[in-house]
Amino acid sequence: MTTSPTGPLSPTGPAGPAGPADSTGPSSATGPGGSGSGIPDLITFDDVRDAARRLTGVAHRTPVLCSRTLDALVGAEVHLKCENFQRVGAFKFRGAYNAVSRLSPEQLARGVAAYSSGNHAQAVALAARELGSRAVIVMPEDSPKSKIDATAGYGAEIVRYDRYTADRAALAHQLAEERGLALIPPYDHPHVIAGQGTAALELIEETGPLDALLAPIGGGGLMAGSAVAATALAPGIRMIGVEPEAGDDTFRSLAAGHPVTIPVPRTIADGQAVAAPGALTFGINQRLLDSVALVSDDEIRAAMAFAFERLKIVTEPSGASALAALLAGRHRLTPLPPRIGLIISGGNIGLDRFLELMA
């Protein structure tokens, strides 16, 4: 069995308990999986809505919080979509379940593979368990212990690697090919992107049209899916991605006009420690983003502290990066529009690590 970077996912097959069977899949029959693969290269708002149907009753419809203190600090009405309350503690469950639920019964029986620093790992492991499948997950040796333990707790087999010397994607592809597993990429796949976009869909359904939306960028799946959903629901909305200064691959790529690879980032935001954007996510973000803001690790720490002290929520560093951009004035919105949405992407952090960062 040959496995491409998009994996042997098919737009046909069982929808699982979350929605109706998908007889046609998203909008295109070709794409990253190769011509005729059945894997689309375009993601439409209809794809996001279809993902939302599949996720109904499976994923949490996470809360949207507001804070008068935050509004007064930044001078705008801010609505925070809190994906730290999602299953597995992060938005990643949305895309993982949407992708795994589309596999055929035969492929589910063989199992799935994924590579991730933690949140996608947990998401695929849980999605596989929910759908009666098994998961093999490639994780870096320095992944937070809380994320490794949670992934194992969902029943996954974990294969470790050194993120600074080994190619995680190549290792996952090799395992998938050898064992006949379906590879579920962390971000660069249409079904994953469409699933992630349901976070922005829910946010704007609850708040009504927003003037701007800020979201973290790692590989770009959350931002790409959110941009597809938000621009459909709120034409004219300004889309701002946020990266750590040390992990500015999308910022550099947009400036260059093509994907750029940087050294593996060293940042406290481990969920955003990505060396290059995905080909598919970059194409969407290049088309729909207004700009990318960069934040320092210290600004991320300050945002985590603000979220804990004033909002009473715990975020992991990546989960707080969009809030950091807003609090530090790095949002690249001049003038600041009156109604802003912001995605808190996750809260997977161990107590010891949280206290260390807050010290």
Per residue in 8-30, pLDDT (tens digit) is 333 223 333 333 333 323 332 22
Q: Which residues are annotated as catalytic? A: 92, 117, 243, 247, 249, 345
pLDDT at 167: 86
Six token digits for residue 337: 């529009």
> What's the rounded mean pLDDT across residues 92-115?
98
pLDDT at 81: 99
Of 93-97, 145-149, 322-326, the least confident? 145-149
* pLDDT tens digits for range 193-213: 999 999 999 999 999 999 999
Query: At residue 232, what are phi and psi to the nearest 5 degrees?
Result: -75, -40
Read off the pLDDT band of 224 (50, 70, 90).
very high
Six token digits for residue 289: 């983003």
Six token digits for residue 321: 């990066």
CATH, domain range 64-91+191-358? 3.40.50.1100
| CA proximity to 203, closest of 235, 228, 230 | 230
pLDDT higher than threshold 70 for residue 168:
yes
pLDDT higher than threshold 60 for residue 221:
yes
Q: Say which DSSP state 328 is in.
A: T
> H-type helices in 208-340, by residue range?
221-233, 249-256, 279-288, 297-306, 321-327
> What's the rounded mean pLDDT across residues 177-205?
97
